């Protein structure tokens, strides 16, 4: 490819971005009374928000429905072609219908418009023509018209679909804020995502418990501690009494320091060389909070305790990494 051809492609790409950026900027003046009224109707909705669109508008409608649903406003998408063959029965008297059509004259949607109106549900529309059949029939019409499409032929839906998508996002996020939808709420609807793991995963979900906990009594020798560390494979052992009250911790780092002092493995008592003041958290602490504590203190292990400061588990940084929290 020649330098001139490459430069032409860059110019064309830049022109698309500039055109669509201008279309989005124009939407700022459309956050008006109609927008507020549409939000009010969706906030009052006792059922679901039913999103309808055809073609490229249908793809945008599907994304808007998904965004609404994941941000606390139950919604689903219905294809107008399928609506003509039974799916219109999915709409109930408690729902709100949101229809996307740039022209406002999409044949498949006009076909079912009278049926939607007979359901006597609020009809919200996103159109590029305020005098279209669909806009005039709407309870609320939001203007998403654009000056021109980014397509040089003026044919492929580009700026118009981008404008509709952005307005859909504006509606969804306005509803999210109005409902007090929190990060925890978002995480509950995305339990498999990284955010869900960060906001929902507790230390108790991934900590080592029972026989997996490396532990020796305060009277144990350094050799006993090393055997326990090797057996449990966590690079450390706790020092605790029979009631599992914590006296301290002994780690690989402590071992290196002890070996530098040439301590005898058989005669050295572990309580004499342990770290007495170790970091602890409770089991219902978020795993991400435990990770933050580890990072701030530059440690790799936390002891998990209950409200009586009794040892109940061990959390290693590798457990957090395996859980996908980071």
Kind of pairing, strands 236-240 and 246-251?
antiparallel
302 CA to centre of own chain: 27
Q: What is the pLDDT of residues 112-154, one digit of tens each?
A: 888 888 889 999 999 999 999 999 999 999 999 999 998 877 7
pLDDT of residue 141: 97
Please tell me whether residue 62 adopts helix, strand or coil conformation.
helix
Q: How far apart are CA 265 and CA 43, in angstroms?
A: 70
User: 53-62, 205-214, 259-268 — which is least confidently predicted?
Assistant: 259-268
pLDDT of residue 266: 87
Residues 222 and 311 in one domain: yes
DSSP one-letter string for 134-158? HHHH-SEEEE---S--SSTTS-S-S
188-197 long-range contacts (CB < 8 A, ≥24 apart) are 189/69, 189/70, 190/70, 194/324, 194/325, 197/287, 197/323, 197/324, 197/325
| Domain residue limits at 207 | 203-322
Question: Residue 239: which of 193, 264, 267, 270 has the closest Cα?
Answer: 270
| CATH number for the domain harbouring residue 210 | 3.10.580.10
The mean pLDDT value of the chain amounts to 88
Residues 155 and 229 in one domain: no
Residues 140 and 20 in one domain: yes
- DSSP code, position 221: B
Residues 275 and 229 in one domain: yes
Residues 227 and 128 in one domain: no
Kind of pairing, strands 280-282 and 301-305?
parallel
- Identify the sign of the CA torsion 116, 118, 121, 122: positive
Domain assignment of residue 189, yes or no: no
Residues 156 and 85 in one domain: yes
Q: What is the pLDDT of residues 153-165, one digit of tens each?
A: 776 889 999 999 9
Q: What is the pLDDT of residues 301-318, one digit of tens each?
A: 999 999 898 999 999 989
pLDDT of residue 198: 62
pLDDT of residue 116: 87
pLDDT of residue 7: 86
Q: What is the pTM of this model?
A: 0.64
> Residue 199: which pLDDT band, with cuts at 50, 70 and 90?
low
Q: What is the pLDDT of residues 275-299, one digit of tens each?
A: 888 899 999 888 888 888 989 988 8
Residues 211 and 167 in one domain: no
Total structural domains in the chain? 2
The residues, ordered by sequence, that sit 6+ positions from 124 with a Cβ below 8 Å of its Cβ are: 38, 41, 42, 96, 97, 98, 99, 138, 139, 140, 141, 142
Domain assignment of residue 197, yes or no: no
């Amino acid at each position: 490819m020649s330098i001139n051809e490459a430069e032409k492609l860059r110019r064309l790409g830049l022109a698309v971005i500039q055109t669509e950026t201008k279309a989005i900027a124009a939407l700022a003046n459309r956050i008006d009374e109609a927008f507020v009224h549409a939000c009010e109707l969706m906030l009052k909705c006792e059922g679901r928000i039913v999103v309808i669109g055809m073609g490229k508008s249908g793809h945008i409608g599907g994304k808007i429905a998904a965004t609404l649903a994941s941000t606390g406003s139950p919604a689903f998408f219905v294809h107008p072609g399928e609506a003509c063959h039974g799916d219109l029965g999915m709409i109930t008297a408690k729902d709100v219908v949101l229809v996307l059509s740039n022209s406002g004259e999409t044949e498949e949607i006009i076909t079912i418009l009278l049926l939607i109106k007979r359901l006597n549900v609020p009809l919200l529309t996103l159109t590029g023509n305020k005098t279209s059949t669909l806009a005039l029939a709407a309870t609320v019409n939001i203007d998403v018209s654009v000056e021109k499409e980014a397509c040089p032929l003026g044919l492929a839906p580009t700026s118009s679909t981008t404008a509709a998508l952005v307005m859909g996002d504006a509606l969804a996020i306005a509803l999210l804020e109005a409902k007090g939808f929190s990060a925890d709420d978002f995480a509950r609807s995305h339990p498999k995502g990284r955010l869900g793991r960060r906001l929902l995963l507790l230390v108790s979900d991934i900590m080592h418990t029972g026989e997996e906990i490396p532990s020796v009594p305060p009277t144990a020798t350094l050799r006993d501690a090393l055997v326990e560390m090797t057996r449990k494979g966590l690079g450390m052992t706790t020092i605790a009494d029979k009631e599992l009250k914590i006296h301290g911790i002994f780690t690989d780092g402590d071992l290196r320091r002890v070996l530098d002092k040439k301590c005898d493995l058989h005669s050295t008592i572990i309580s004499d060389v342990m770290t007495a003041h170790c970091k602890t958290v409770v089991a219902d602490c978020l795993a991400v909070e435990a990770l933050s504590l580890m990072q701030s203190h530059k440690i790799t292990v936390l002891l998990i305790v209950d409200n009586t400061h009794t040892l109940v588990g061990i959390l290693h940084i590798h457990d957090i990494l395996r859980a996908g929290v980071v």
